[in-house]
Structure formats: C-alpha cells, structure tokens
Amino acid sequence: MSLDNSVGVVVPQRVCFNEAMALKSGAVLPGFELAFETYGTLNAARSNAVLVCHALSGGHHVAGVYADNPKDLGWWDNLVGPGKPLDTDRFFVVGVNNLGGCYGSTGPLSANPETGKRYGADFPMVTVEDWVAAQARLADHLGVDTWAAVIGGSLGGMQALEWSLQYPERIRHAMVIASAPKLSAQNIAFNEVARQAIISDPDFYGGHYAEHGVVPTSGLRLARMVGHITYLSDSQMGEKFGRQLRHGEHKFSYDVDFEIESYLRYQGDKFAGFFDANTYLITTKALDYFDPAYAYNGDLAAALARAKARFFVASFSTDWRFAPARSREIVFALLHNRRHVAYAEIDCDAGHDSFLLDDAHYHAVLRAYLENISI
C-alpha cells in the first residue's frame, strides 16, 4: 500500500476525566477515559480543529497506520491526510472512540470501579447526546473552543448534527453525510434483529459473557451479516456477486453455495473476532433513540432552531438505509431556520457504504467545501 499523502505512523492517546458525568438515561458515570488520535497541528488561533465522528463500527483510528501493525489503516484514511480532502496540512483533525466503545474508551469491557469486574451488561446505555458531551470534554482537554468543523457519516453524521444543537457556539460547520434526523421504523427493525441475534446467543449470558470467558460470536456474526445487507445496494450486490457459485455447481447443502453467502460469512466472522457485543447493543440503541425532534413534538424545524453552524449535507443515490429523502428532511428544516446549507445528492452505486469510499465526485465535493472553511 502506498503511503503517499498518508499521515503515516500514528500513536493513539488517552485522556482520563475524573469528574462524574450524568447520562441522558439518568445513570451516572463516575469518570471515564477516551481514546483518541490527532493528525496535523492545532494552529495558534486554535481555529483549525476538525472532529471526525465515527459510525457503528469505527473508532478513533481515522487515518494512518500503527508502527506495530502497518496494515491497520485508519477507517477514513482516504479522506484524511496531507493534500487529501480533509487536509492535515491545514486542519488539526481529531478522531475519538466514543463512550461505550470497545477500542480503548471506557465501555463494557472496562472495569467497573464499584465491583472491580468488567462492566459487561452493567455499562449504562449512552446516547448520541452523551457522546457529544464526552467529545466536548475532549475538546476542552485539547484546547479547542470551537471546531472549524465536525464531520461524520451515518451515525457519525448524527453526532455532527447533535454538536450543532448541544453546543451551537462551539461548531462552525456541521458536515452530515449519509445520515438522518432519526431512524425509521425499518431502521429500528434491522437493529432489533441484530440485537436479538446477540442476546439469544447462548454465550451471551445476559451480557456478562466475559465473566464466563466466552464471546457471543455467532450472535455478533449474525448481527453483522444483517447489517452488511443494509449497507450495500441491491444493484451493487448484484454486480459484485450476482448468483455466482462458489463451487461452480449447486451443492444441495447449507455450506456456502453462492458467493454472497461467503461474503457475508467472511464479514461476520471478521467482525465477531474484534468487536464487543455489548458495545454493539449500546450503539444500536443510541441510533434508535436519536431524535432531536422528539422533545419538539416531532417538529424537526423547531428542534434545529438553535443551530448556528453552517451545514454541509450529502446523501447517496443508492443508499436505502439512510435514503436521500432523510437528508432532505435535515436540509429543509435548516432552510426553515434560514441556516446556511449546501446539499449534494451523490450518484454512487455502493449504497450506505458509499460515504466511506473515495468516489471522485464525492471527494471533490468534500474537498471544495472544506477548502472554503476559513481557519
């Protein structure tokens, strides 16, 4: 792999916050740690910081590689780096693993200070609002009063939107990509299937699987398989796999016959090998609960009235999980409030996953928007 325009070798950092944090659910975390990475340099005016928010399976490792694992490329490395659309020669870019995550931030795998054992299922539910509140503490720690931009795709886009509502003075540009102002019933339904797959795994043990020295691998694997179906478009799946047979003939068995089965199993196995099941459960619930209009009788325009940021909103033509119409809801609610907004509906065949790809037009649009952000 070429390391041109790469931020190169990066080192994850950690910060510990000892002050308790009241969560939206009513639970209180006595304190917490966040794992994060930074790329580029914070300028003297502290005006060039950009926060990258991750989606369901991402984390703080946004760009670059690790010295001890040069194959572990950041999840949005195609976007972030010197000369890339989110240019680290110009911006100070921050990636963070959210609260409840499983890559180093305090979460279900961490020790519960009250018991000394892992939290497991006792880790409180966290919401998008809680994540943003925790990210704000990270911003304080880094000396960032105001983000030049907060950017994210999917669930990450929801965090960018939430930043504009929770801390309207601390964000100049909200970049909301392949996202939605709330999940639809169909979205929640897919999440529920994924959760039930995990919870009904005999190795789940009510979420305390760690104490039993096991992992609900088959549940996690199923959850990821269902997820992957929703990330891809029908047409792309058809193009990529079609009805291709693994063995060139029908085997009349439940082993892999069709290539798509092989793909889903591979993705499921890979994911179940590193992701924590409780984090998966918590994260899907955070998605389900996110609905800034909920406190405004469903009136999204009223909910967005307090936003002050300029917005960039983008959707992808073949994304049926967070379809373009969902992004347009955000756009028109912003328009109602007379906010600045640029909205691009990008032609890309890859469904919801498009936001992670480096489609030339998509990246040109991102680059153009980011270049116009003053620092």
Partner 1 sequence: MNFTAKERERFDFAVIANWIPPGERVLDLGCGDGKLLRYLRETKDVIGYGVEIDHESVLGCIRNGVDVIQIDIEGGLSGFENQSFNHVIISQALQAMHATERILCEMLRVAEEAVVSFPNFAYRANRAAIAEGHMPVSEDLPYEWYETPNVRFFTLADFETLCAKLDIEIRERRAFDEAGQAVSDDPNLNGSLAFYRLGRKA
Phi, then psi, of 140 in degrees rounded to 5:
-60, -45
Residue 58 beta carbon to partner 1: minimum distance, rounded to whole angstroms = 25
Catalytic residue, candidates 110, 352, 353, 354:
352
The partner residues of 250 in beta bridges, in order of sequence, read none
Angle (CA) 291 294 296, round 5°: 130
H-type helices in the chain, by residue range?
Answer: 128-142, 155-166, 185-199, 217-231, 234-240, 259-272, 277-289, 300-303, 324-336, 360-371
User: 137 or 367, CB closer to partner 1?
Assistant: 367
Catalytic residue, candidates 77, 130, 201, 319:
319
Residue 364 beta carbon to partner 1: minimum distance, rounded to whole angstroms = 6
On whether the CB atoms of residues 173 and 309 are closer than 8 A, the answer is yes
How far apart, in Å, do the first and last CA atoms of the chain sit? 32
User: 243 or 338, CB closer to partner 1?
Assistant: 338
User: 269 or 345, CB closer to partner 1?
Assistant: 345
On whether the CB atoms of residues 181 and 331 are closer than 8 A, the answer is no
Closest CA to 80 of 71, 90, 72: 90
- Residue whose structure tokens are 């169909």: 186
Look up 154 and say whether it is catalytic.
yes
User: 35 or 314, CB closer to partner 1?
Assistant: 314
50 is written with which tokens?
């950009």
Catalytic residue, candidates 6, 47, 57, 154:
154
Residue 345 beta carbon to partner 1: minimum distance, rounded to whole angstroms = 4
Angle (CA) 184 187 191, round 5°: 140
10 Å Cβ neighbour count for 325?
Answer: 11
Look up 319 and say whether it is catalytic.
yes
Residue 304 beta carbon to partner 1: minimum distance, rounded to whole angstroms = 14
User: 188 or 301, CB closer to partner 1?
Assistant: 301
User: 11 or 360, CB closer to partner 1?
Assistant: 360
Residues that bind partner 1 (CB under 8 A): 312, 328, 331-332, 335-336, 338, 340-347, 361, 364-365, 368-369, 371-372
Max CA separation in the chain (angstroms): 67
The partner residues of 152 in beta bridges, in order of sequence, read 53, 176
Residue 365 beta carbon to partner 1: minimum distance, rounded to whole angstroms = 6
Residue 135 beta carbon to partner 1: minimum distance, rounded to whole angstroms = 26
Secondary structure E strands in 67-182: 80-81, 86-87, 92-96, 149-153, 173-177
Collapsed DSSP state (helix, strand, coil) of residue 9: strand
Q: Could you give the residue numbers annotated as active site?
A: 154, 319, 352
